[in-house]
Amino acid sequence: MRLTVNGEPAELPEGTTVADLVAARAEDHRRVAVAVGSAVVPRSRWAGTVLTQDDVVEVLVAVAGG
């Protein structure tokens, strides 16, 4: 299926969950937030949130620094 991840086109298998996407894209899952469309997906719902064709997903990683 085709969708957009962080502003870039992406091809993912049908049935991919937010948890699958985070596992593939982020090394440290503790500092990650995910939004599908304009809605933030709580971490407790990552495993049960299946992505669908044409979703727009933002995977945000918090970074400390100065």
User: Consecutive sets of 10 residues in the chain, 66 residues long: mean pLDDT of each?
Assistant: 97 97 86 95 97 96 74
Which is it for strands 32-36 and 39-40: parallel, antiparallel or unpaired? Answer: antiparallel
24 is a domain residue? yes
Domain that holds residue 25: 2-61
Largest CA distance in the chain: 40
CB-count burial class (<10 Å; 0-12, 13-18, 19+) for 34? buried
pLDDT of amino acid 63: 75
pLDDT of amino acid 66: 60
66 is a domain residue? no
Number of domains in the chain: 1
The token pair at 66 is 């100065």
46 is a domain residue? yes
Quote the pTM value: 0.90
14 is a domain residue? yes
52 is a domain residue? yes
pLDDT of amino acid 25: 86
pLDDT of amino acid 3: 97
Q: In degrees, to the nearest 5, what angle opens at C-alpha 34 toward C-alphas 30 and 36?
A: 165
Q: Supply the CATH number for residue 29's domain.
A: 3.10.20.30
